[in-house]
Amino acid sequence: MKTIPVVLMGCGGVGRQLLHHIVSSRSLHAKLGVHLRVVGVCDSKSSIVVSDVLSMELDDKFLLELCQLKSNGSSLLTLSTTSGVEYQVLTNSDSTTKLIDIAALLGKSMGLALVDCSASSETIGVMKQVVDLGCCVVMANKKPLTSTMEDYDKLVSHPRRIRHESTVGAGLPVIASLNRILSSGDSVHRIVGSLSGTLGYVMSEVGDGKPLSQVVKAAKNLGYTEPDPRDDLSGMDVARKALILARLLGRRINLDSIKIESLYPEVMGSNVMSVEDFLDDGLLLLDKDIQERVNKASLNGNVLRYVCVIEGSRCEVGIQELPKDSPLGRLRGSDNVLEIYSGCYSEQPLVIQGAGAGNDTTAAGVLADILDIQDLFPEK
């Protein structure tokens, strides 16, 4: 049996779903000869760590109580559990030091998987330190890999000990597929992809003639968008995913190198217009332009999709006209689609398609990444 000590950073929707997946998959993991021993969980304000990280763990009952607490919007500091687990509660100021201590203790002996399911850039400092301590890093958080090139180089300096599939396509095998292509010596010369479930849904719906304002409100009601839909409509999330892919291909660029098309003008930004005003008034002003672009594309036998394009020195995200019968043109709903063109896949691209959004799918991708590093941990 291999035991993988785990510390989770981030107790939002993905982090909580990951803990649920870990608990519900115990019997399966036992058959695989693996046990995930959760020794610590952190939110944005505090951390909970077992008293003895060498031998103890946060048991399943404790983890489920913790998830319930966080789903109610409470801080870990308020946790009062009926579980008999001995643990420490640390405030933010002490958490970083404790995480480094745990990494130093476990990293070079039994190993440690540090899992970042937050949406914060504040985890970068910790992660840069633990990679030199023999730890493995698993990320759903895109910000560490889209920080400076210096930060990026540090995080990927031990490639066997890093997994970040869920930073780009949730549970889809995007990073793994690209790594296999590149390690074979094949050269990737073009990537085109719809990598936002929200924008994929929006563009396919406006293509059916529905007004953008109506579609965005529907997407919000379905839970596809962030609380402020402009976080999706800005294209920044897609740009971060494009940057991760471009860097994987060897492009040494930063976010400001990417041309990003926002679906709304700066005068409708969050520093100017409230979410309510944007939904009630701002969106209506965007309907005409989008509908005209949809009509123009239709006359050309094409459809509009919000995509990332990586080709040569070009790296941009925005609306593109694409053939209706292409994989991206056939895209419906919130699926993600990625087309990879390389020496081996020159005429017919490698197409990766499937659910690319949702806490459940993303958490499943993170869990698969954790299990993928099990060979780096010793048998018990």
Q: pLDDT tens digit string along 297-311?
A: 999 999 999 999 999
- Give the span between the Cα atoms of 268 and 229, in whole angstroms: 12
Q: pLDDT tens digit string along 29-40?
A: 999 999 999 999
Q: pLDDT tens digit string along 126-178?
A: 999 999 999 999 999 999 999 999 999 999 999 999 999 999 988 899 999 99
Report the SS3 class of residue 12. coil
pTM for the model stands at 0.95
Binding residues for NADP(+): 10-15
Binding residues for NADPH: 142
Comparing 279 with 83, the larger pLDDT belongs to 279
41 band by pLDDT with thresholds 50, 70 and 90: very high
Q: Is residue 64's pLDDT more than 90?
A: yes
* β pairing state of 350-355 and 113-116: unpaired
Task: Name the nearest CA neighbour of 49 among 60, 35, 64, 38.
Answer: 38
The confidence score (pLDDT) of residue 45 equals 87
The confidence score (pLDDT) of residue 198 equals 92
Q: Are 7 and 115 in contact (CB under 8 A)?
A: yes
Going along the chain from its start, the domains and CATH numbers come out as: 2-171+360-376 (3.40.50.720), 188-355 (3.30.360.10)
Q: Is residue 122's pLDDT more than 80?
A: yes
Task: Name the nearest CA neighbour of 243 among 309, 322, 197.
Answer: 309
- Cβ neighbours of residue 262 under 8 Å, at least 6 residues apart? 233, 234, 235
Q: Is residue 14's pLDDT more than 80?
A: yes
Beta bridge partners of 334: none
The confidence score (pLDDT) of residue 28 equals 97
Report the SS3 class of residue 54. coil
334 band by pLDDT with thresholds 50, 70 and 90: confident
Beta bridge partners of 3: 35
Determine the average pLDDT of the residues in 278-301: 96
Binding residues: 10-15, 142, 226
Does the annotation mark 241 as catalytic? yes
Q: Which of these is catalytic: 128, 217, 241, 259? A: 241
